[in-house]
Amino acid sequence: MRNVFRVVLAALLIGGAVQAQQAWPDLSGQSVRVAGVWSGDEQANFTAVLNEFATLTGATVEFFSTGNDIATVVGTQLEGGSPPDIALLPQPGLLVEFANRGALVNIEDSVGDLVDEYYAQAWRDLGSVNGDLYGVWFKAANKSLLWYNADILAAAGVEAPTTWDEFVVAAQTVYDSGVTPISVAGGDGWTLTDWFENVHLRSAGADMYDQLTNHQISWTDDSVKEALGYLAQIWQHDWLANGLQGTLEAGFPVGTVQPFLDNPTAAFAYGADFSAGVIAADTNAELGTTARFVAFPSVAGSGPAVVGGGDVAVQFTDNEAATQLMRFLATPAAAEVWAALGGYTSPNQGVDVSVYPDEVLQQSATALQQAEVFRFDMSDLQPAAFGGTSGQGMWGLLVEFLQSHDVDGIAFQLESEASAAFQ
């Protein structure tokens, strides 16, 4: 009920605003088919966005969920000659793949002006292939947050860290105050890859990060070893909540909530914007007061940078209604419909941050908008054998690194598994 109320409210508020800003053509009788991976609440919320478009233009919009394997579903429809008009792809690699197959409509002329107006250059680049614009990033996830228990930090007399050096000092001080400072979800390899990616993006810079992502530099590169060295500073076994063995048994949910239990066993946990849901569901800690976060600390003077994920809207068929919907998705008005419903952050800089229903999302969305650098989760862009399989590649070897802190040995093994996977 509350959601329905919110949708209506948002539609009323924003509908008025949009009509004042922009006149949408009358598209009565035309229809658009949209595909995406979302289901459940996410699907309902995105449908609210589409309904808003339908109200504005009179077009009929139909959303269908492809499940997680959108590449296969859309790819099959494409081969059958009946692709969806628009699809929201969860990975930039898919955008590149479809663009290279010539399946996508170049939206430079139709939507380029809105993208220039509302998006940072990083997002335009992520939506482009060889300089041609194909995609509008509609949804983004921020995986560059450091969650902390504000009560424990207060008891230890430290501020939330903004730089890596402050982080190390804060961790030592918290440790002196009698609390193990760091919660690492060492049971799930992918959380360790996120730690690594955040440090490498900051210590080595975006260019090196891109080269490593594409395996243009080797994993034995000094930048990798430097990042591993930083991690070893924080992953000291004495500092880990419940010790090394407890860390190796902790999956993402456990690793996320350990600082926020009634008897907290840690002060800091690496996390993402979606950590908020886990903390709210599994602990009594109040978000925004006890459970708070800052942007992942800057390393060696690096600027604001975000590692994350997102969904990009791409257009398969060149018709008026689809083009107008692509334009609509690039406007803040579209993003604000979902933003008001929660569980969503937009990279669109035109979105009024106060629209987000809680402080956590506002803060996370601000970090996204202000990021000078945005990069996709590196492990998601690797061949699955190296970046997406438990017990091997990045996942398995970072678990080993957590135990051994052997910088050179792990870098060497990472390189040998990476070169095998990239063959």
Partner 1 sequence: MATAVKDNRAPRANKTGRAVVLFLKVSAFLGPALIILGALLVYPIIFTGVRSTFDASGNNFVGLANYEQIFTQPRTLIAVRNNLIWVLVVPPIITALGLIFAVLSNRLPWRSAFRMAIFMPLVVSGLAAGVTFRFLFAASPEVGTANAMVRSVAHIFQPPGEYPTARASREAPLEALEGGGFQSTISVTAGDTIYLGLVGVQANALPQEAQAALAPAATPGSVAGVVWLDFSPGGTVGEIDPAERGMPNVPVRLMSDDQVVARTLTDESGRFSFDVQSGAQHRVQLAASAFRAPHPGIAWLGPTFITIAIMIGYIWMQTGFAVVIIGAGLSSLDRELQEAARTDGATELQVFRHVTVPVLMPILMVVLVTTVINVLKIFDLVYIIAPESMQPYANVLALEMWRASFGGARDFGLGSALAMLLLIMIIPAMLFNIRNFRRSG
Q: Which residues bind partner 1 (CB under 8 A)?
A: 154-158, 175-179, 186-189, 242-243, 245-246, 248-249, 251, 384-385, 388-392, 396, 399, 403
Q: How far is the CB of 151 from partner 1 (least distance, A)?
A: 12
Q: How far is the CB of 69 from partner 1 (least distance, A)?
A: 12
Which residue lies nearer to partner 1 by CB, 338 or 386?
Answer: 386
- Closest to 336 in 3D by CA, of 314, 361, 309: 361
Provide the token pair at 48: 């609210």
Q: How far is the CB of 422 from partner 1 (least distance, A)?
A: 13
Which residue lies nearer to partner 1 by CB, 30 or 173?
Answer: 173
Which residue lies nearer to partner 1 by CB, 161 or 347?
Answer: 161
Q: How far is the CB of 403 from partner 1 (least distance, A)?
A: 8
Which residue lies nearer to partner 1 by CB, 208 or 254?
Answer: 254
Which residue lies nearer to partner 1 by CB, 25 or 157?
Answer: 157
Q: How far is the CB of 376 from partner 1 (least distance, A)?
A: 18
Q: How far is the CB of 308 from partner 1 (least distance, A)?
A: 21
Which residue lies nearer to partner 1 by CB, 92 or 393?
Answer: 393
- Closest to 45 in 3D by CA, of 74, 86, 11: 11
Q: How far is the CB of 103 from partner 1 (least distance, A)?
A: 22
SS3 track for the chain: CHHHHHHHHHHHHHHHHHHHHCCCCCCCCCEEEEEECCCHHHHHHHHHHHHHHHHHHCCEEEEEECCCCHHHHHHHHHHCCCCCCEEEECCHHHHHHHHHCCCCCCCHHHHHHHHHHHCCHHHHHHCEECCEECEEEEEEEECCEEEEEHHHHHHHCCCCCCEHHHHHHHHHHHHHCCCCCEECCCCCHHHHHHHHHHHHHHHHCHHHHHHHHCCCCCCCCHHHHHHHHHHHHHCCHHHECCHHHHHHHCCHHHHHHHHHCCCCCCCEEEECCCHHHHHHHHCCCCECCCEEEEECCECCCCCCEEEEEEEEEEECCCCHHHHHHHHHHCCHHHHHHHHHHCCCECCCCCCCHHHCCCHHHHHHHHHHHHCCEEEECHHHHCCHHHHCCCCCHHHHHHHHHHHHCCHHHHHHHHHHHHHHHCC
- Length of the chain (residues): 423
In the chain, what is the straight-line distance between the N-terminal and C-terminal CA atoms, in Å?
53
Q: Exposed (0-12), middle (13-18) or buried (19+): which is 106, by Cβ within 10 Å? A: middle
Question: Rounded CA gap, 293 and 382, in Å?
Answer: 29
Q: How far is the CB of 202 from partner 1 (least distance, A)?
A: 25
Which residue lies nearer to partner 1 by CB, 173 or 349?
Answer: 173
Q: How far is the CB of 84 from partner 1 (least distance, A)?
A: 25
Which residue lies nearer to partner 1 by CB, 59 or 168?
Answer: 168
Which residue lies nearer to partner 1 by CB, 159 or 222?
Answer: 159
Q: How far is the CB of 76 from partner 1 (least distance, A)?
A: 17
Which residue lies nearer to partner 1 by CB, 19 or 390?
Answer: 390
